[in-house]
Amino acid sequence: MILSTAEGVILQEGFMPQDNPMNNYDRLISSLDAFIRKYYANQLIRGSLLLLICLLLYILTASLSEYYFYLPVWLKVTIVTLFVGVGSFALIAWVIIPLLRMSKLGKVISHETAAVIIGRHFPEVSDKLLNILQLKQHSETNASQELIAASIDQKASQISVVPFAQAVDFTKNKKLLPYLLPLLLIGVFILIAAPNVFKDASERLLQPTKTFEKPAPFRFVILSNPLQASRNSDFTLQVSAEGNALPAEMAVDLNGEHVPMQSIGASKFQYTFKNMTDAVSFRLFAAGFYSQSYTIKVAQKPLLKAFKVQIDYPEYIGKKDEIRNSLGDMTLPVGTTVRWGFIAEHTDDAHIRFANGSPINLPANGGMFGYSFRFMNDTSYTLLLKNKQSIAADSFQYHVQIIPDQFPVIQLQEHRDTVSGKQILLTGTAGDDYGVSKVVFNFSISNEKGQALTQKSIPLKITPGALTTFQHYFDVDMLQLQSGQKLSYYIEAWDNDGVHGAKASRSEVMTFQMFNNKQLDSAINANAQQINSGLSNSAQQTEKLQDQYKDMQSKMLNSDKSDWEQQQSLQELLKKQQQLQSQVENAKKRFEEQMQQSEQKQYSQDVKDKQEDLKKQMDNLLNKELQEQIKKLQDLIQKMNKEQPMQTMQQLEQDNKLFNMDLQRMQELMKQLEMQMRLEDLVSKMDDLAKKQLELKDQTDKNKKGNDALSKDQQDLKKDLDKAMQGDMKDLNDLNKKMQTPQDMQQSQQQGQQAQQNMQQSDQSLQQNQNSKSSQSQSKAAQNLQQMADMMRQQAGGMNMQQIEMDIRAVRQILTNLMRLSFDQEKLMKNVQQTSVTSQEYLANQTEQNRLHSNSYMIRDSLFSLSKRLSKLSATVNKETTELEKNMKYSLDALENRRVGEALTRQQYVMTRANNLALMLNEMLANLMQMQAQAQNNPGKGSCNNPGGMNPKPGAGKQLSDIITKQQQLGNAMQQMQGAQQGKQPGGQQQGQQPGQQGQQQGQGQKGNQQGGEGGLGSQGNSASNEYGNSEQLARMAEQQAELRRQLNELNSLLNSKGLGNAKELREIQDKMDKNEADLVNRRLGSEFQMRQKEIMTRLLEAEKSLREQEQDDKRSSNTAKEISRPVPPELQKYMQDRQKLLELYKTVPPQLKPYYKNMVEQYYQMIGNK
């Protein structure tokens, strides 16, 4: 009823809106749709809250877990997977699906389901809403649609007032907020208080497959970046630890296996992965902590497959180019070009780097790379190969050592002639590693201030090569150096350097100094002192040796010493003799040096002749006398026997005694030479001062200058004179006092002092303006100076009349004594021949021989003293006197021992020596008398330029022609005398005289020596017999022959000084003349004498012809004579010849030798060539 009533009501209500019956139903459906939308909106809200709660809870749980516990990878993967899977599902189910269904997308709940949900929520609706929907469905198939529609409308109107939407209660979702808000607050708190929790955890969770280890109290720092290795190569991993607490050890975790690392420093470790072929993952482990996982990648390594090196040598070294198929260090000549060619695999880029320079990209051509480079210095080069996979380049490093082109090397030797030192020969070798192109002789001339006056270069002729020889000869005289100028010269060698250009090396610079007058005087005087000291020491040494020789003889006679002990004593003597030889050689070298220095001064020809004569005498001392003594000693040591030593020792003692005499004579002659040189120096200064004084007088007379200037000039002249008087004159007086026969220097010194006084008076007169009086004083001073110069000039030239007269008297006296000795010895010799050894007269002969022996001592001492004063006296005079005395002694010994034959032989030797001495004294007497005549004819003038007082000679050809004429005349006179003597022989009286008659004739008197005058042994008594007449003629002929020999000797010296003549031939002629003199003295006029005379004439005619041709050639070349150098000295010629032989040997070096061995051979020849 109620239903009916209700339905009726509903129906009635449904029927009320007749015009729109479906509005209630539509509104119902609209309400259902709104419900459905709200339904899904509620699901969306609920799902969102649930999703948010789950997400926050999940995130907080996972983040905190990961942050604090460093979850393993599998768990992180699970968490992430669940997060993504479940989260996605929840999002779809709880959010996306409700959202889509709200928009009626997808499958939504039906109206019926909605009606059931609403009916459950609203009891009053119950299943009414569902019924309405069902009726609506049935109305479409039922015929009574209107009735059903009315019923639906009625029912719809009944429940239309029900708010279906309230069936969905949004407030129920509030019960989820207690879950959400705490989680949200916790998340916000963590985000604010510890933001790293979400940050770090999210970073690690977002990398679920990567293992993150719990952070240690230190940090692992990988030093080997990048972590990439080339295939099949090693990779060294270097790691350091940084932090507060550092580990002492570290290991590499390789698939769970801990491999210890090597400590390389403070908290630094390394480990080498060998021969890596694949990528390797690892972790680091230290102090219980792991690092993150790392991976070393492996890249393909560039590979050098093939290569070729072409070496192009510089052309000038003459070495062939070569190709090498191997890389390596090289040693190359400078300037060599190297071309590389490479074939590389797995290579994208190739570079080459030289030393520390920038890499140079090599151009590629189909996998081939090439480059060329010219090496100039030592360097290293590195070949770099790279590809895209490998970061580090593969490198090959090599070194190239460069052989530089060396500078040429010069070895130079200088050889000078031993006479003047101005003829110089330069020889040597020049070497270079690749070749010498030229050798040049350079010289320059500079003045005393060092300013260059002349410079010149002369190319030398050589054979280009790695080692070449050269020689150059030049004569300093050709350069005409002046006083104080210096010649500097050196050798310069150039190589053939084709890279840097030819280089030059210089030898040491050698010099030839022309001293100024002051330096020259000082050097000459210093050498004079050294010479005097050396000769004095040598003389003292010979005196000591004399005593030792005597001691040695005594020991040989009285000692029982063995031969070995005697040999030791002889060895000691030999050693001292050699020391003596060294001393004399040093004195000789000093003298030669002094001669060279004196050539730079204008000394007289007399000084030069004396120097040459003394040099010859010194050479004779060294090369003949002393050398013979040494040889005799050596022979005595080698051939020791019982008989020979005593005789040899006696001979050595005698030789040493003679050597001592010659040394003393040489010392005194050296002093005389020094005296003469100093006199000539002082003469030159006085002449110069006299000339200047006359010039000053002329200026004073003509008033060309003011008195002050004239006074100053006069004072300067006086200072020069004072300096000469206090210095040179004082030294001269000191030297004169040391002479054996001092000269009278008082007059010369007085003239100098008067010149000083006159100069002083002249200066005072000038200051008082008394020019006329001053001029007179100046004239007197000039006269004093000139007179002083003339006096000293006479003394220097040996033209002092007083000295000459004293020497003539001494020579005559000695000659008289010598002739008397000779005559007495000849008389005694004949008496010995006639006297029996058992007669009383034989003892008288011994007494006479002893008296003559004593007289010989006096003659020896007189001649020795004379020889030390007269340099023109033959140097053999002491030898002759010694031999005379020795034979006298032997003759006396033989007479005492009744050895008549030996006594006669020794007496004949005495006669020969006496005659030789007479010839020497005759020649010396003639020279002295000529000097006296010249001094008388030229008073006040010296003869410094004409030794011996002779007048200047005519031309050499004319002189030789005169000598030939005189020799011819002398030969004719000899033949005539010999013919006359032979014509008297048939009478038989002269040839057949008995010895007693001869002795009677010889005993008739000895006054004939005075009648013979200076002719020597011209007569032996006042007898008019033919014998004494012949003796006088022979003596005069011997004197003439001696004079011709002397003239020929002077001519020879003149020709040699001019570079003309033949010294050897003229010397041989002189020797033959000397033999003729001896034969004339000893009356040996046999066939040998005649043949020698003819040979002399033939040789003289040949020499005349040769000289005439040379003089003609000399005239033809007179225009160019100044440019022709003197002949090369013999010693230099010999050296050049020996050197040429060595060069010929050098040319035999086999050319096919390898350079190393050829260079060794060249160095060997160079070494022996410089010896």
List of residues 6+ apart from 375 with CB closer than 8 A: 332, 334, 335, 336, 337, 338, 400, 402
Pairwise CA distance, residues 278 & 255, whole Å: 15
pLDDT tens, 1115-1129?
554 444 344 445 566
Reduced to 3 states, what is the DSSP secondary structure of residue 1022? coil
Pairwise CA distance, residues 1124 & 49, whole Å: 135
Q: Please tell me the predicted confidence (pLDDT) of residue 272.
A: 94
pLDDT tier for residue 920 given thresholds of 50, 70 and 90:
confident
Q: What interhelical angle do 1130-1146 and 1155-1169 show, nearest 10?
A: 170
539-554 mean pLDDT: 79
pLDDT tens, 938-977?
554 444 433 333 334 455 666 777 788 777 777 777 777 7
Strand partners, 312: 337
Pairwise CA distance, residues 1024 & 1011, whole Å: 12
% of the chain exceeding 90 in pLDDT: 5
pLDDT tens, 152-210?
565 555 565 556 666 677 788 888 888 888 888 888 888 888 888 888 888 888 888 88
Pairwise CA distance, residues 127 & 110, whole Å: 15
Instruction: State the pTM of this model.
Output: 0.48
- Both tokens of 578, joined, read 């050699």
Question: C-alpha angle 20/26/28, rounded to 5°?
Answer: 125
Strands 303-312 and 337-345: antiparallel
Distance from chain centroid for Cα 22:
137
Q: Please tell me the predicted confidence (pLDDT) of residue 396.
A: 79
Nearest to 1080 by CA among 977, 956, 960: 977
Cβ–Cβ under 8 Å, residues 1081 and 819: no
Point out the least confidently predicted range of 95-99, 119-123, 1111-1115. Answer: 1111-1115
Whether the predicted pLDDT of 999 surpasses 50: no
Cβ–Cβ under 8 Å, residues 1054 and 1035: no
Nearest to 133 by CA among 120, 109, 152, 159: 152
Whether the predicted pLDDT of 1050 surpasses 50: yes
774-786 mean pLDDT: 89
Reduced to 3 states, what is the DSSP secondary structure of residue 332? strand
**DSSP state, residue 314:** -
Whether the predicted pLDDT of 1094 surpasses 60: yes
Q: Please tell me the predicted confidence (pLDDT) of residue 237.
A: 93
Nearest to 927 by CA among 946, 945, 941: 946
Residue 226: is the preceding peptide bond cis (ω within 30°)? yes
Nearest to 1095 by CA among 1111, 1078, 1115, 1073: 1073
For 1165, other C-beta atoms within 10 Å of its C-beta total 19
Pairwise CA distance, residues 571 & 583, whole Å: 18
Query: Between residues 409 and 518, which one has the greater pLDDT?
Result: 409
Q: Please tell me the predicted confidence (pLDDT) of residue 137.
A: 60
pLDDT tier for residue 240 given thresholds of 50, 70 and 90:
very high
Nearest to 531 by CA among 725, 677, 424: 677
Reduced to 3 states, what is the DSSP secondary structure of residue 445? strand
Q: What residue has token string 């030791």?
A: 568
% of the chain exceeding 70 in pLDDT: 75
Cβ–Cβ under 8 Å, residues 430 and 436: yes
Give me the DSSP letters along 120-166.
HH-TTTTTHHHHHHHHHHHHTT-S-HHHHHHHHHHHHHHHTTS-GGG
- Long-range Cβ pairs for the range 45-50 (8 Å, 24+): 45/170, 45/173, 46/94, 46/173, 46/176, 47/90, 47/93, 47/94, 47/95, 47/98, 48/94, 48/95, 49/173, 49/176, 49/177, 49/180, 50/90, 50/94, 50/176
pLDDT tens, 461-498?
888 778 888 888 888 878 888 777 888 999 999 988 88
35-50 mean pLDDT: 83
Strands 233-243 and 268-276: antiparallel
CA dihedral 864, 865, 871, 876 (to 10 degrees): 0
Q: What residue has token string 């983040």?
A: 63
**DSSP state, residue 740:** S
Q: What residue has token string 């510890």?
A: 194
pLDDT tier for residue 260 given thresholds of 50, 70 and 90:
very high
**DSSP state, residue 315:** G
pLDDT tier for residue 276 given thresholds of 50, 70 and 90:
confident
Average pLDDT, the chain: 76
Reduced to 3 states, what is the DSSP secondary structure of residue 642? coil
